[in-house]
Structure 1
């Protein structure tokens, strides 16, 4: 169910806008949809994109880091995010077109690339309803560590899904707390 969905670190809003547009096209009841970002300029861009795609009324945009704008009420069905997951070494190896134009906070996942992922999984627990889902983009070599952390934190079933290139890039986990 896409009802009561949050996107964390929305950036341009592409993911939450696509979901809202899909629900609009299917004439489905969207429920509550919201997106957060700590960057005010990113939120303004996301809002403009939502207006451009005629879904601005369907999505709330809130400034804040990850889930901080939300009280833990266990009403959320799905949390989605493309968090920063690169290590410092991976950032150094990025093409200049990415490294020089993307905000560092959108790329830097800490020493092992997992800082934001661990934080998101911790923060999602009190806000997800039992049976709710988390979908996170991860680095292609992070699957085993992310699976272990997710399982230890109440997510089961939990799995890693490949992207279109066949690389392990998405954590899909159901919260059973």
Structure 2
């Protein structure tokens, strides 16, 4: 029966040989996941049940399945989010959207704000915002019914279920009302580039959440004209964008009646969040 340290070393070596970019980290996370405990004592013996789980984890990781998919949960904004096949993994770059939105609302945190999250997935953007805006309530929309169920479960997991609702739908179709903040991380990868993505993304993230049409701008075109009627006076829109898409998205939104109010870079220095208000 190996110790935690021995199991981690063996798995890290296997992952390194398979070309993993982070074999040590992956091995630590998977060993701890097999035990159901963080920061496990390196000298602890790995029980047979945990060893069986770890063997399964190892096979899946070596086949290209991402660590967080294997574990079924990923942290975002310091909060846990459960995953499902219908949802993207929440990624650190998307925290830029939350940061940008909160900066824009800095003087309004105590207000009863109405939030809208389009293409909500796990609900990570909406739930992170609700965790910070204690008087706000929000609605998350997703084309996938399964994603809506996952998001609702994550709202309960993070204690905001009383202020969050999730609804199956296609973008703004059928929506009415007035929102102080609209956020979205829409699909923005051009269809022709899907096949070039890493196996972790291409085979494990839902295509519905990746494919932005021929030029990656399809969802932005749909939203450009439909968002202004949904914005309250003083309302804000914050989008996530892909690399180099800023000028095109700004042009689309301006044509639809929104005014560009700035952008925010992610930790890698890439323009990630675009901010708009009513023109």
Q: TM-score, normalised by structure 2?
A: 0.58
The CA distance in 2 between the partners of 1:163 and 1:105, in whole Å, is 24
Residue in structure 1 matching 2:228, options 125, 137, 143: 125
1:41 equivalenced with 2:142 (yes/no): no
Structure 1 residue aligned with 2:207: 104
* Deviation, structure 1 residue 7: 0.3
The CA distance in 1 between the partners of 2:256 and 2:183, in whole Å, is 17
Higher helix share: 2
1:4 equivalenced with 2:109 (yes/no): no
Structure 2 residue aligned with 1:93: 196
* Deviation, structure 1 residue 138: 0.7
Q: TM-score, normalised by structure 1?
A: 0.89
SS at match of 1:126: helix
The CA distance in 1 between the partners of 2:249 and 2:262, in whole Å, is 9
1:66 equivalenced with 2:66 (yes/no): no
Structure 2 residue aligned with 1:13: 123
Residue in structure 2 matching 1:52, options 157, 181, 186: 157
1:23 equivalenced with 2:133 (yes/no): yes
The CA distance in 1 between the partners of 2:194 and 2:265, in whole Å, is 22
Residue in structure 2 matching 1:166, options 258, 269, 274: 269
Structure 1 residue aligned with 2:186: 83
The CA distance in 1 between the partners of 2:240 and 2:130, in whole Å, is 19
The CA distance in 2 between the partners of 1:140 and 1:83, in whole Å, is 14
* 8 Å contact from structure 2 (residues 260, 276) kept in 1: yes
Larger RCO (CA within 8 A; separation ≥ 6)? 1
The CA distance in 2 between the partners of 1:166 and 1:92, in whole Å, is 26
* Structure 2: 5+ residue stretches without partners: 1-104
